[in-house]
Structure 1
Amino acid sequence: MLVLNRKEGESVRIGDDILLKVVSVEGGQVKLGIQAPKDIDIHRQEIYEAIQRENAEAADFKGNLLEVLKFQKNS
């Protein structure tokens, strides 16, 4: 892991397309601004992990999807 020190207003460039800027530092929190192409997904770590869990659960589904969808439509 690369660890960098940046002050408010300073930036980090990732490749040619991504700019990470320290917008503000207040009370132990850092506010970041991220400029990236629209085709790059950007998520907080906890959201990314939740998406990965949901995708894994969906991939492991063994039931009859048509029956599940019928049940949801009728509920």
Structure 2
Amino acid sequence: MTRKVAMIINEMLEESGLEKVDNVNLSMSLRDDFNLDSLMLAELTVRLEDEFGVDIFEDGIVTTFGEVIEKLERK
């Protein structure tokens, strides 16, 4: 699951003309390390919900890659 989420984020970065992130770890900030803005976070939410059936922002804000994985694993 971690690899799939990283792949989705990197696809989004490429589509936006941003540099992919090669070494992903759970403590990475979605905004600071992945450079995701509000629109990209909304897009990430939609893509992850389509892929995994989980709205990662349903019960609050997530700020790190690890928090995303944790929410998805709880489904």
Q: Is the shorter-chain TM-score for this pair beyond 0.5, marking a shared fold?
A: no
Q: TM-score range by the shorter chain?
A: under 0.3
Question: Higher relative contact order by CA 8 Å / sep ≥ 6: 1 or 2?
Answer: 2
Relative to its length, the structure with more helix (as a share) is 2
After TM superposition, the score normalised by the length of structure 1 is: 0.23
Relative to its length, the structure with more strand (as a share) is 1
